[in-house]
Structure 1
Amino acid sequence: MKFRPCIDIHNGKVKQLVGGSLKDKGNQADENFVSEKDAAYYANLYKKDGIKGGHIIILNAGGSEFFKKSKKQALAAIKAYPNGMQIGGGVTAINADDYIRAGATHVIVTSFVFKDGRVNYGNLKSLVKAVGKEHIVLDLSCRKKDGQYYIVTDRWQKFTDEVVNLETLKKLSEYCDEFLVHGVDVEGKSGGMEEELVEMLSKFTDIPITYAGGIGSKEQIEKFAEISKGNLDFTIGSALDLFGGKLSYDEIVEEYNK
């Protein structure tokens, strides 16, 4: 079980947002933290501390007037820490290789693969052909509806018909190297994780899974370790002192990056 860092970029700035508040219209979101430092600063920090496998996420839609500005920040972070971080946000089979060539270890993909509510295997296979399974992370970020966790796309605004369960994980693991799973309804709230989701994810050990969402204290990290049986990695954003929170980044790195 390791700590995986993050760099979330929205409207050209490094931010921590309340996950379920993102709206493409007006490029709006509820903000927990807006950094005065750029994405490269955080990438250099993670590089200095030797933390690999973190994710950079562009949170603007491709058609947004801010997308190019956010993408520029993301590429600067990759350049600062080549072969150290993953990148997501608007990734397709056409541009995926550009990010890998720029220095990302993996591309993180949701919306390109989950089209019209279902898995688009044509798009998924074209992605594998473009960069190879070993460079793909599928983002299965989800929200609960009718007692089940459904994958959501388009910056977590649209529900698909795909349920996150062991069968789905098994099926999709044939096309990727890792999974990234945000518990969207608790993302950015530091009020506790989606325990039911964490418990289910921990039962799948074929490929690495990183969980993000709601972890906001040392006690919650310990609870996460207990529920996940140490089988999952984790991300903390808003709760870290790096992003205006109370949890010591240095202490987390010291304890969970050995």
Structure 2
Amino acid sequence: MSFKEDEMLIMPAVDIKNGKCVQLVQGEPGSEMVEIDNPELVASHWQDLGAKNIHVIDLDGTIHGKSSFPIIKKILNEVNVPIQVGGGIRDIEYAKQLLDLDIERIIIGTMGIKHPETIEELSDEYGSERIMISLDSKDNKVVIKGWQEKIDKSPVELSAEFKEHGAGSILFTNVDVEGLLGGFYTKPVEDLKKSVDIPIVYSGGVTTIDDIKLLNKTGVEGVVIGSALYTNKIDLTEALKYQKR
């Protein structure tokens, strides 16, 4: 599903680790607050509640470099709504393997930052709308390699470069608040939104319906919700009412 100016897509997160759907605190292995069998059925559940898009992250790929490709295929077979997939896409061959499936878009982080020419190649072959770049921010600096390595550039500084290389959208995650269920800061989102004119999807710290209302006002084209859905702090059916501007 392409992004629309009058809509902020609500995207439930399905994070895969050891064959299960999990939610981690601050992305730290071993901090699972949620573990559910059969991620494909979890994705189907969110679809049944009305989600128009599912956000799938392969944590095994991110943390261990071990792909959860078979589970991603199961999710594709189980749901009819578009999915976007990220996590552990470290080489262009695997990126193409995913894009050759019926996936809406892939999310590239470390590879795109270290080798921006890969963004151009994938964008030229598959279309920029299918290439999303992940900008993960900690202390207003971009972090890569599963948030383990910091580079000396801010998300705003990198965002313009990515558009030039053909990225069609940006996933912006504020690591400072991710997984803590304590809300988020609007300024980093607003600053990034002002710096580029390609769609931005926000992730991190979204905990209440009021957070969703606030994000809607920033103009972002999508929001990923993870822990708040799985701990019943946000009801998806209620959240979906705020997709329209």
TM-score past 0.5 threshold: yes
Whether 1:216 aligns to 2:216 is no
Corresponding residue of 1:245: 232
1:168 to 154, 158, 175: 158
* Contact 2:84 2:106 survives alignment (8 Å): yes
- Report matched runs for 1:1-258 at 5 Å: 1-21=8-28, 28-36=29-37, 38-49=38-49, 51-61=51-61, 64=64, 67-68=66-67, 70-81=68-79, 84-91=82-89, 92-115=91-114, 120-144=115-139, 149-165=140-156, 167-174=157-164, 175-204=166-195, 206-226=197-217, 228=218, 230-240=219-229, 243-256=230-243
Change (3 A) 1:29 1:181: farther
Gaps of 5+ in 2: 1-7
Secondary structure at the residue paired with 1:79?
helix
* Contact 1:19 1:156 survives alignment (8 Å): no
Deviation at 1:77, TM superposition (A): 1.0
* Contact 1:107 1:137 survives alignment (8 Å): yes
Q: How many residues align?
A: 236
The 1-side partners of 2:17 and 2:103 are apart by 19
Change (3 A) 1:20 1:49: closer
* Contact 1:194 1:213 survives alignment (8 Å): no
Amino acid at match of 1:104: I
Corresponding residue of 1:25: none
TM-score by structure 1 length?
0.81
CA RMSD in angstroms comes to 2.4
Change (3 A) 1:123 1:213: same
The 2-side partners of 1:236 and 1:205 are apart by 23
* Contact 1:83 1:104 survives alignment (8 Å): no
* Contact 2:25 2:179 survives alignment (8 Å): yes
Change (3 A) 1:114 1:188: same
Amino acid at match of 2:209: K
The 2-side partners of 1:255 and 1:225 are apart by 7
Secondary structure at the residue paired with 1:193?
coil
Secondary structure at the residue paired with 1:251?
helix
Secondary structure at the residue paired with 1:51?
coil
TM-score by structure 2 length?
0.85
Amino acid at match of 2:32: E
Secondary structure at the residue paired with 2:234?
coil
Secondary structure at the residue paired with 2:121?
helix
Amino acid at match of 1:256: Q
The 2-side partners of 1:19 and 1:63 are apart by 13
